[in-house]
Structure 1
Amino acid sequence: MTTPWIAGATGLVGRALWAQLPDAVALVRRPQAGAVVVDYGRPDSFAALPAPSHLFIALGTTMAQAGSQAAFQAVDFDAVLTVARAARDRGATHCGMVSALGADARSGVFYTRVKGQAEAAVIALGFERLVIARPSLLDGQRKQLGQPHRWGEALALRLTRPLAPLIPARWRPIAADRVARALRLALDQPGPAVRVLESAALRTLGAP
């Protein structure tokens, strides 16, 4: 693998990917030591970057943080497609994408519908190898990364962590570094052009 890009390198999974791939080009929206600031609203923002072989997309927000459906879609669909298209145009053949549990382009729920539409749009770009990760609730220390507190996520983790052994693997909270490891390993394994990894599979493949 040469010069992978990591889009969303300050998030839980993105930061874990960056730790596992320290030579990658880490793409961020705000200045961060060792990272490259890009504007996901401008495709030419990626022109000066080294050509990637692999792309990892770990972009995402919440409705509460975005403030509106339009702002949410700008991150979870528009920015995802912009960086995927830029990497593909620059020669990337492999793409690992973090989506969400239940992603479905036909869903009646806005969040899962946008996630599904983003998956479909990236699939249509025709990467030689695309791995889509659909993790359940992510477990990690957002505060240590300087990220906004997610009250709903924090409450859900507080309630589910003690019960984790009793929760089916598909729904059990999963560590962000495990998702990152599974995505990275799966992308370099032989298999179909498009592979979807649900949370239970991510847990198994990404085990330390």
Structure 2
Amino acid sequence: MVVADQAVAPAAGRVALVAGATGLVGREVLAALLTDKRYTAVHCVGRRPLTVKHSKLFSHVVDFATLDTLPGIDHVDDVYIALGTTIKVAGSQQAFRAVDFDAVLAVARAAKAAGATKLGAISAMGASAGSGVFYNRVKGEMEDALSQLGYMALVFARPSMLAGDREALAQAARPAEKLGLFAMTLLKPLIPANYQAITATQVARALVSAVQSADKGTRVLLSGEMQQVH
């Protein structure tokens, strides 16, 4: 299913693909891409169509569990993946992994097959395949798996605690997150930059900027660096 004002995407200019555009960071990534003149088309894949309308935006409804090719998309240059959930929302570790690992890999593989050479993904602070924390271990395994796909350039954003209006996105409230953000605000002068709370907008802008400027290899963005991007 394609939702757009145009039937065919423009052929000239760069083409971006976004997965997770309805999320806290994903919506900010989408907003940045839609105002960036370097992109003439922005395709979004998700479980439901977007309500956002724009002349260069194309919304595709997909089932990540069975995704192997990108429907109605002939070519992609840059792919941005902001898919993510929590174990509480997902309901189990297996369901969490289906989103934060399986769906991410499915999008990355399909985008690579469509010609994408640069990929930017939202990961997490402390991501490591060897972590004893399940959440961080899955994020680390996701990074390792993406690194094996043959992309020319990879950028992993590992933000600390995210600040943003989740309720406006109809996402479940996270009391612990609110408490943590409040404590971080009070103690900000004492907290190292990489551990300070960061806004979704800052993460999105830093990720887009890093992907666009990437040449070859893998780059990891921590919160301290991302806070410097405007």
Cα 1:37–1:190, aligned 2, differ >3 Å: closer, same or farther?
closer
Verify the 8 A CA contact 1:38 1:45 in the aligned structure 2. no
The separation in 2 between residues aligned to 1:31 and 1:192, in whole angstroms, is 33
**Which residue of structure 1 aligns with residue 143 of structure 2?**
119
The CA deviation string for residues 52-80 of structure 1, in whole angstroms up to 9 with x for no partner, is 10000101111111111100100000000
* TM-score in terms of structure 2 length: 0.84
- Please, which of 66, 72, 90 is the counterpart of residue 66 of structure 1? 90
- Correspondence for 1:26: 44
Q: How many residue pairs align between the two structures?
A: 206
- The offset of 1:190, in angstroms, is 4.4
SS at match of 1:86: helix
Give the superposition deviation at 1:152: 2.0
Aligned in 2, Cα 1:137/1:195: closer, same or farther, shift over 3 Å?
Answer: same
Q: CA deviation at 1:179?
A: 0.6
Partner of 2:189: 165
* SS class of match (1:95): strand
Separation in 2 of the partners of 1:71 and 1:190? 33
* Runs (5+) with no aligned partner, structure 1: none
Measure the CA separation in 2 of the matches of 1:185 and 1:44: 28
Instruction: For residue 200 of structure 1, report the CA deviation from its aligned partner.
Output: 1.2
Local SS of the residue matching 2:25: helix
TM-score (norm 1): 0.93
Q: Is contact 2:18–2:82 with CA below 8 Å preserved after alignment?
A: yes
Distance 1:127 1:120 in 2: 12
Contact map agreement 1:2 1:53 (CA 8 A) in 2:
yes
Identity of aligned residues (%): 48
- Superposed displacement of residue 174, structure 1: 0.3
Mapping for residues 1-208 of structure 1, pairs under 5 Å: 2-22=14-34, 23-34=41-52, 35-44=59-68, 46-204=70-228, 206=229, 208=230
- SS of the residue corresponding to residue 14 of structure 2 reads coil
Q: Distance in 2 between matches of 1:121 and 1:44?
A: 16
- Is the deviation greater in 154-163 or in 64-73? 154-163
Read off the aligned partner of 2:48 and give its amino acid letter. R
How far 1:169 sits from its partner (Å)?
0.5
Partner deviation per Cα, 1:69-93 (whole Å, 9 max, x = no partner): 1001000000000000000011000
Distance in 1 between residues matched to 2:130 and 2:68, nearest whole Å: 31
Q: Secondary structure of the residue that 2:45 maps to in structure 1?
A: strand
CA distance in structure 2 between the aligned counterparts of 1:20 and 1:163, rounded to whole angstroms = 31
CA offset at residue 164 of structure 1?
Answer: 2.2
Shift in Å at residue 32 of structure 1? 2.5
Alpha-carbon offset, residue 148 of structure 1: 1.9
Write the distance in 2 (CA, Å) between the matches of 1:109 and 1:194.
Answer: 24
Whether the aligned pair in 1 keeps the contact of 2:60 and 2:71 (CA below 8 Å) is: no
1:161 Cα deviation (Å)?
2.1
Q: Judging changes above 3 Å, is the alpha-carbon distance between structure 1 residues 50 and 163 closer, same or farther for their aligned structure 2 residues? A: farther
Larger gyration radius, structure 1 or structure 2: 2
Gaps of 5+ in 2: 1-12, 35-40, 53-58
Give the Cα–Cα distance (whole angstroms) in 2 for the partners of residues 117 and 190 of structure 1: 22
SS at match of 1:21: helix
